[in-house]
Structure formats: structure tokens, C-alpha cells
Chains A and B, each alone.
Chain A
Amino acid sequence: MTKLFKSSFLFVLYAYLYIPIIVLIANSFNQSRFGFHWQGFSMRWYEALFNNDSLLTAAGHSITIALLSATAATAIGTLTSVALYRYRFRSKAMVNGMLFVVMMSPDIVMAIALLTLFLALGFSLGFWSLLAAHITFCLPFVVVTVYSRLNGFDKNMLEAAKDLGATEGTTFWKIIFPLARPAVAAGWLLSFTLSLDDVIISSFVTGPDYQILPLRIYSMVKIGVSPDVNALATLLLVASLFLVVLAQLLLKDKK
């Protein structure tokens, strides 16, 4: 009885998480334009998608930003974790505090703060402002992931490396980085996901010249999203799943 209860509870919650996605995927193959009424299987929205340049460009921009910001946030975040773990420095409290501020302040506050900054600096809104914003909001998540992994290490190993004459750079590349790699990979994936999913901050810090997917959709949503967006979302979901499964398989082989 309890087992039945548990399984059905889990089933209901997974259903809650997945039904909208299933409806979205189904609609991408639906002949009908409106609502969920099934009018036959069709690939017409996929065809429409491949003729919809502005939507494809926006998707391309989103993926570019996600790849670049995840990589940069992971690099900076990993260095930050190493510095917080290894060194004492005067601004350490400030670094911790600022990371906490990024984590804890609502997205909308960060969005307007960055908008104010970019306007005050006379920075034109677009690719660079978007990239800087995404790197910043991903940063604490990388730091938390990597730092918790570093914390489990035996510090004697680092002492040994030092005694054997390794410089800080060598210690980082030969010892810390390889050991922290799973956490670094997890941080990258988390950043990539966060960047791709962000609506709030992006909608403030990008300009008309650099359209990204969420904003393109946001401007369509009020009138009703055309089903080629469903087709695009389906393709992106499949691509992400494929990449993650591939990454898992590659990591397993290494063991």
C-alpha cells in the first residue's frame, strides 16, 4: 500500500513536470494551428521553422551566449573557488559577500542593476552586455559546486606538491583541476542550463540588434505563439538530451 502510494505520488509529480512539455512536443507535430485539438500528424511546423530566419537566428544567439557564458563562468568560477579555498586575501569577505548577493538577490533586481550600469557606462546593449550579465549570474553556482568538491580534498596533497617544487600554476593544472573535474563539468552544465533558461535578466540587458530566443518568444507570446516555436523547443530539448547522454557515456568510458 505505501509502495503504491509512493509510486503514484512520484508519478503524479513527474506528470505535472512533463505534461506541458509533452503537449508542446505533440503540438509541434499537430496539423492544427490552435489549441490542442489533434488534427493529424504533420511536419509543417518544422518546415515553417526552417524558413523562419529570425527565429533560427535568435536560437543561434541563445546557444552562442549559453556556450560562451558557461565556459567563461566556469573558468572564472573555478579560479574563484581555488582562490577562496587556498589563499587568504584582504578582499575575501567582499568576494564571498558579492557572490552571496548574486545568489540571493531576485533576478529582477540584478537585471535593473546591470541595465543601470551599462547605460551609465555608455555600453551599447547587445552581445557583450548579455554575455557579461550571464557570466555574472552563473558565477556563484559554479563556485558553490566546485568549492564543495575542493573542500573534500586532502590539503596535504597540495603541501606535497609545493615541497616537490611545483609552482601554484602547476599545482592547479596537475592536481587541483584534474581532481575537481567532475564538479567543474557539473558547474558548466548548470551554467549552460541557467543561461539558456534565463528570461528576466536577458530581457533587460540585450538590445534590439541582438535578439535571443526568450525575448523573441516573449514578444510573440501575447498574440499567441506560432507552432514553429514548439518545433524549435522540441529540437532544442532533443539536442540537449543527446549532448548530456553523450557526455555521460564519454565520462564513463574514461573510468
Chain B
Amino acid sequence: MKHTNTFRNFAITLIVGWLAVFVFVPNLMILVTSFLTRDDVNLIQYTFSLDSYLRLFDPLYLKVVFHSLKMACVATGICLLIGYPFAYFIAQMPKRWQPLALFLVIVPFWTNSLIRAYALKTILGMRGLFNWSLMSLGIIDHPIRILYTETAVIIGLIYILLPFMVLPLYSSIEKLDKRLLEASHDLGAGKLQTFWRIVIPLTMPGIIAGCLLVFIPAMGMFYIPDLLGGAKNLLVGNVIKSQFLDTRDWPFGSALSVMLTLLMALLVFIYYRVGKFLNKKVELHD
């Protein structure tokens, strides 16, 4: 019986220890830092203050927060709109082709996303591939300015994050019981009605997972706006980064992070509730 305890205790001690040191303590430190004061020499001064939180209401920062929210929402929405049919069509392919189709979704990850974002930048530039193609085809006669606009940031976010939407969606669509769709047709539901009332609610876990996996990174991803967005298109991530690395205002950077985390927690909670609510509705309709 002694051995039983050795393995069990080893496993539990290791994981609890690791998570306590590298997750619990650092997050707690951010929380504490956000209530302290800035110090030019030692970065932080141990005087309690709410200043950092009050500064969050500065219109300058509120604007950045709303802008980030807007960009992340648009990127997530478009990812869902194009990712859902993408995943759906893959799930409808012959079984032996599906692994290959999914594999092709993952392959881009083996090129560092920074390098890919840079490649995208050369494509979207005034004299890039995109403008060149449109002009060669005679669709436009002057190059369109895309780089350093909101559109470029959205294109970049979608480009980097689309696989995170497609993979969870695929796994929940693939699990869908085909008999339910037949049953729905037999009971006289049209294609659209079946889709809205059966397919969407049943794949809700995938939709939720996909949206979270896209939305959360989209809020904090500082290198996409850095590369594609120009000065007007900062996201919260850029502001946090500059508070830590350039301005060296750690308490304010921490307060921004705490706010971002709370926002995420709130969203996760809402999504979770919506998912539960929809599932209940499905049960009631049974």
C-alpha cells in the first residue's frame, strides 16, 4: 500500500506545486501590484492606492478598450461566419479526406505567426500582391490603401486566429448524430429550420469554445496591430505592453490586465450561461 501513496503523492505534489508557483502566485502578484503606486527607481512603491483603477476611466484608455472590444468582436464574428461553413464542409467530406483537411488547417502554425504576419504585410501593402492582382485584373485602377488601417488589423487577426475557430467547431459538428437531422426532415422541418433549431443548438459547445479561443487572444495580441495597424489602431495588448516595457508604469499596466481578465471572466460566464440556456431549450423541445 505504501507504493500507492508514493505515486499518488508525487503526481499531486508536482502539479499543485507547479500551478501554485507559476500560476497562482504570479496572478496574485499582478492583483497586488495593481493597487500599489509607481516608483521611478524600483518600479513599484508599497503604498496602497486606487489611482491606477481611476486612470482606467481616462477617456484616452476607455477609447482603446472600446476599440479593442470592437476589433475583437468583429474578428470573432467574421471568424465564426466563415469558420462554421468551413468546419461544416470539412465534416461532410469523405471520412478518409477529413484528417488531411484538418492537417492543412494546422500546418500554417509551423511557421511562426510573426513571420506570417510579416508576409501578410508585404501582401497588403500599396505595391503588394493584393493590389497588384486587383489592378492586373482591371478591378481597380489605383492601389487601395489597406495596410495601416482597421481592415488590415482585422484581416491579420482573422488570418492568425481562424484555425482556433475551425478546430473546435469541427469536433462538435463531427459528433452530430445524423439521425437527428433525418428525424427533423421527417417531421417536416425545412433545411433552414433544421439548421437553426437542431444543428446550431447542438453544436453550441463548439461555437462557444471557438469564439472564446478567438476573442481572448484577439484582445491582447499586440504584434498584429504593431505590424499591420499603424498608430491609430492600438489594442489593449499594446497599451499593457508599453506600460510594462516602455513607460514602466507597472501598477497601471497591472490594473489594465486585471480589468482585461475580469472582462474575459465575465464573457466566459455569459457564454457558459447562454450555452446552458440553449441546451435546456433543446431538452424542452424534445
Interface of A with B (CB < 8 Å)? 6, 9-10, 13-14, 16-21, 23-24, 27, 35-36, 76, 79-80, 82-83, 87, 89, 91, 94-95, 98-99, 101-102, 104-110, 112-117, 120, 132-133, 135-136, 139, 167-169, 172, 193, 196-197, 199-200, 204, 213-214, 217-218, 221, 225, 229-230, 233, 236-237, 240-241, 244
Contact indicator B23/A102 (Cβ below 8 Å): yes
A196, B115: Cα distance in complex, Å: 12
Known: A24-B119, A106-B217, A136-B23. A83 touches B106 (CB 8 A): no
Known: A10-B89, A104-B212, A112-B257. A225 touches B118 (CB 8 A): yes
A16, B123: Cα distance in complex, Å: 11
A residues near B7, Cβ cutoff 8 Å: 167-169, 172
A89, B24: Cα distance in complex, Å: 18
Contact indicator A17/B108 (Cβ below 8 Å): yes
A230, B114: Cα distance in complex, Å: 12
Partner of A87 from the list B8, B236, B244 (CB cut-off 8 Å) is B8
Instruction: Name the distance in Å between A247's Cβ and chain B's nearest Cβ.
Output: 12
Partner of B26 from the list A20, A114, A240 (CB cut-off 8 Å) is A114
Partner of B105 from the list A17, A114, A120, A218 (CB cut-off 8 Å) is A17
Stretch at the interface among B14-22, B141-149, B177-185, B200-208: B14-22
> Is B6 an interface residue, CB under 8 A from the partner?
yes
Contact indicator B118/A217 (Cβ below 8 Å): yes
Q: 22 A–B contact pairs at CB < 8 A?
A: A9-B86, A17-B108, A17-B162, A19-B123, A21-B111, A21-B116, A35-B128, A76-B15, A105-B261, A108-B221, A108-B222, A108-B241, A109-B257, A109-B261, A112-B30, A112-B240, A117-B21, A117-B26, A196-B110, A221-B227, A236-B110, A237-B107
A80, B244: Cα distance in complex, Å: 33
Instruction: Name the distance in Å between B69's Cβ and chain A's nearest Cβ.
Output: 13
B residues near A83, Cβ cutoff 8 Å: 8, 11-12, 15
Main secondary structure of the interface of B (DSSP, over half): helix
Instruction: Name the distance in Å between A7's Cβ and chain B's nearest Cβ.
Output: 8
Contact indicator B29/A116 (Cβ below 8 Å): yes
Instruction: Name the distance in Å between B98's Cβ and chain A's nearest Cβ.
Output: 12
Contact indicator A233/B19 (Cβ below 8 Å): no
**In the complex, what residue of chain A is closest to B265 when comparing beta carbons?**
A104
Partner of A204 from the list B119, B227, B244 (CB cut-off 8 Å) is B244
A23, B119: Cα distance in complex, Å: 7
Partner of B86 from the list A13, A36, A109 (CB cut-off 8 Å) is A13
A108, B18: Cα distance in complex, Å: 20
Known: A104-B212, A109-B220, A114-B26. A24 touches B12 (CB 8 A): no
Contact indicator A98/B23 (Cβ below 8 Å): yes
Main secondary structure of the interface of A (DSSP, over half): helix
Contact indicator A6/B129 (Cβ below 8 Å): no
A110, B257: Cα distance in complex, Å: 9
Contact indicator B120/A20 (Cβ below 8 Å): yes
A76, B12: Cα distance in complex, Å: 10
A94, B108: Cα distance in complex, Å: 35
A residues near B109, Cβ cutoff 8 Å: 193, 196-197
> Is B223 an interface residue, CB under 8 A from the partner?
yes
Instruction: Name the distance in Å between A125's Cβ and chain B's nearest Cβ.
Output: 13
Given contact pairs A115-B244, A193-B106, enumerate 18 new A-B contacts (beta carbons under 8 Å).
A10-B90, A13-B86, A35-B128, A80-B15, A104-B264, A109-B257, A109-B260, A113-B26, A113-B30, A116-B29, A116-B250, A117-B25, A132-B22, A169-B7, A197-B109, A199-B112, A200-B237, A217-B118
A residues near B33, Cβ cutoff 8 Å: 116
A91, B18: Cα distance in complex, Å: 13
A residues near B118, Cβ cutoff 8 Å: 217, 221, 225
> Is B176 an interface residue, CB under 8 A from the partner?
no
B residues near A200, Cβ cutoff 8 Å: 220-223, 237
**In the complex, what residue of chain B is closest to A100 when comparing beta carbons?**
B268
A residues near B250, Cβ cutoff 8 Å: 116
B residues near A117, Cβ cutoff 8 Å: 21-22, 25-26, 29
Instruction: Name the distance in Å between A91's Cβ and chain B's nearest Cβ.
Output: 5
A residues near B112, Cβ cutoff 8 Å: 196-197, 199, 213-214, 217, 233, 236
A residues near B129, Cβ cutoff 8 Å: 19, 23, 36
B residues near A9, Cβ cutoff 8 Å: 85-86, 89
> Is B219 an interface residue, CB under 8 A from the partner?
yes
A residues near B120, Cβ cutoff 8 Å: 20
A80, B33: Cα distance in complex, Å: 30
Contact indicator A199/B114 (Cβ below 8 Å): yes
Question: Which B residues from 12 to 67 make CB contacts under 8 A with A?
Answer: 12, 14-16, 18-27, 29-30, 33
